[in-house]
Structure 1
Amino acid sequence: MELTDIGANLAHESFAEDLDAVLTRAYDAGVTRLVVTGSDLFSNRHAMSLAERYSGQCFATAGLHPHHAEDWNDELDELIRAGAAAGRLAAVGETGLDFFRDIAPRAAQEKTFAAQLAIACEHDMPVFLHQREAHARFLPILREYLPNLPRAVVHCFTDSREALDAYLDAGCHIGITGWVCDERRGRDLYENVARIPDDRLMIETDCPYLMPRTIRPRPKTRRNEPANLPWVAETIAAARGQSVAEVAALTHANAGRFFGLDAVR
């Protein structure tokens, strides 16, 4: 059984001291490919560096998270464009809107979101998207660019059934994290995950965040890592009435196609 973690924040400082061990544990758990998330200038550079250092196992995205929207500048623009042009990126992003925390002004979030979607269109790149409590603005902006985007994934989806159906109707892929394993917050997601077509489902840890609450025995650390992805697959399989092997196979194949992982250098 092989798995692809489409959202691993391995540039996070919590992985600085033991990254080799983290990647070994991931591989031993069947997580043979990891898409490393870039979300600001530092993590973009680090993600691309990891993709070079661990070629074939790690792949990079590059973008600006909505929390940092006011940091958008020519240097970031050029870095993302250069990475896309050189074939160093699996996707543009993480980009989108976050009106839950509202760390950056909403106008700045919308402006930088549109700027990154435009870059993806120009370079025929898929996009790795973040949306929290912003569906009403997020989807109209995305729709403007969808005709010229090859593929889009709404990562770490936690929204309503109505939002899920809207993204599916728009042709988006959906990334599911350990949120689905949370019996407190993730009950609606558990009940709705079966609505995602087999060819549009992908899975992720969003590590070091969102530790699956189903892990037994319970970990001594609060840091999530890619080796825990099988727990996400197991919960999704139960929710969808599929075997874990089936969920693993279809999500691994979907990730390969979506990100063009055989073509990323």
Structure 2
Amino acid sequence: MAGSAVRRTRFAPSPTGLLHLGHAYAALVAEREASPGQFLLRIEDIDRDRCRAEYETAIHEDLAWLGLDWQRPVMRQSDRMAAYRDALARLAPYSYPCRCRRGDIRAALSAPQEGALPAGPDGLVYPGTCRGRSLSEAGPDDVIRLDVARAFDALGIDRIGFRDGAIMPGHDHVLTRDQFLDGIGDVILSRRGMGTSYHLAVVVDDAAQRITVVTRGKDLFDSSYIHVILQKLLQLPTPLYHHHRLIRDDAGKRLAKRDDARAIRHYREDGATPQDIRRMVGF
């Protein structure tokens, strides 16, 4: 567990669309959990095909309008590929290349079993089809996966866990090795054309920014198990976690960036004040 005397949190949006009410809530939670420490902004722009400069500009403008302030300069993931390459190299003993596409994974999981297919934080749980391949066989169209069983063996543990400050405070949330394999599987460390993945990048960046409290939505709860095992493999500190509630629409569905009607920018243009937005999300 991170032991810094100064609490440090971050809000880390991807510039792939306008920020909506859910983002406003997440940013406000991160700022609140930092008090009286330091609140940081990080731009998660590893998906270069979807990220846009205008959305990054809008992130800064909307957050400043809400009354948030953060340390400068702002970390941008697109500037940190060397750090991700280094981390990926350190994870090489527990990694393998995978050529499977989504259709291959679905076909492997569908036969011969019946019923619902196992799903984890990143979609269908990978069945390990390519697990025996060596990194020396990796091609340009392969992803790199973490061999979870090998990672557990290397660490000499049979379970992984973390502490959450919002859900059952003071209680350790734990998965056994078998639960991790069955419910999450061999996660991707480096995606095609990216050189990294969300899971690897966020772990490396949280350590680089000395984050002591990671705030995120409950939808990312299972991802935290992934991040803890990567922290242990990379010998990085594990922060406290705070998984907060999600802002939903009238039908109870979690807001997404395609929900432009709930974008902060549109509320601003319609005359809303920052206090109006805070009240709308329960602050």
TM over 0.5, yes or no? no
Taking structure 2 as the reference length, the TM-score comes to 0.29
**Higher helix proportion (structure 1 or 2):** 1
User: Structure 1 length normalisation: TM-score?
Assistant: 0.30
